[in-house]
Amino acid sequence: MRRITVLALVGVVALSGCIPFRHKKKPAVAPSPVLQNSPRVVDSLWSVAQRQFNRGGSGKLREMLTRLTAIMQPGDNRLPRLHFMAGEVEMRDGNELQAIREFRRVSDETPEDSLASDALLRAADAYANLWKRPELDPTYGTTALGVYQEVVTRYPGGTAAKRASVRVKQLQDRFAYKEYQNALFYYKFKAYDSSILTLRNLVATYPNAPIVPSALEKLVLAYQALGYKEDIKETCNYITQFFPQPTGPRRLCPKESAAPPKEPAPAPKEPVPAQ
């Protein structure tokens, strides 16, 4: 029995010698990480993005700006310009609300930056663009007006403030036109009193708007329809003073009020008695 057991053990040992020895595989060595966010890569990508922006690109430029936003370090002095460029790209593509967010980041997070005033101005431009037509809801137009005035208040005397003042006037002209359209609606349905109130408010609020002469014409016609002679006289005196051209609203005024009053002729002198 012992002999059989010994033979079996010898056989197992012999067989084990035939099995090749398997070495454990060494773990794969990870390659050295590529520094994708290194300052050198950021600088290179920034240079390419600026060139693309100056050429008016928007497709790949958007991707580059998005990547730069993710990898630039906080406090990088190029971040304001990065957000400004991103805002301009969004404006070009018609994404005004996203553009506003980018521009406001420049003006609100870095208000002392050289681009802050221009960014705030562009945010106002984006709001103005969203007010497509004067007859539509003027909420965006009202917001644009407020932001333009913010530019003038926060950055007085600068180039952006001067441009904002011009655009305030342009926006006010659009508001005046909207009021005129409302007045025409009332006038069309013979709601003359409502039309008169709207027209008077237009003239008082936007006296220099191009639509004012037309508004005064409708105002005189509404007064005539209601027979308000005193109001016609008062309005025509205003027209004579500020819009004296005979082809304008003055042509609708009565003749006695259409011409400025003349000085009374001097009284004839009494004849001197003969000596």
**Residue 25 covered by a domain:** no
Residue 266 lies in a domain: no
Residue 76 is assigned to a structural domain of this protein: yes
Spatial distance between the Cα atoms of 160 and 115, rounded to a whole number of angstroms: 10
The answer to whether position 239 is within a domain reads no
In a domain? residue 82: yes
Whether 271 shows a pLDDT value over 50: the answer reads: no
**Exposed (0-12), middle (13-18) or buried (19+): which is 4, by Cβ within 10 Å?**
exposed
Number of domains in the chain: 1
Region 32-40: mean pLDDT is 65
| Residue 21: inside a domain | no
Residue 247 lies in a domain: no
Q: Which residues contact 237 (CB under 8 A, 6 or more apart)?
A: 257
Find which of 131-140, 142-151, 246-255 is predicted with most confidence, using mean pLDDT.
142-151
Residue 125 has what pLDDT? 98
* Domain-located, residue 48: yes
What pLDDT digit, counting tens, does each position of 63-112 carry?
A: 999 999 999 999 999 999 999 999 999 999 999 999 999 999 999 999 99
- DSSP conformation letters of 14-57: HHHHHSPPPPPPPPPPPPPPP-TTSHHHHHHHHHHHHHHHHTT-
In which domain, by residue range, is 65 found?
A: 38-107
State the pLDDT at residue 28.
Answer: 58
Those residues whose C-beta lies under 8 Å from the C-beta of residue 147, and which sit 6 or more positions away, are: 120, 123, 124, 127
CATH number of the domain within which 87 lies:
1.25.40
What is the token pair recorded at 257? Answer: 């009020």
**What does the pLDDT read at residue 56?**
82
Residue 197 has pLDDT above 50, yes or no: yes
Residue 190 CA to residue 218 CA, distance in Å, equals 12
| Structure token pair of residue 239 | 């027209």
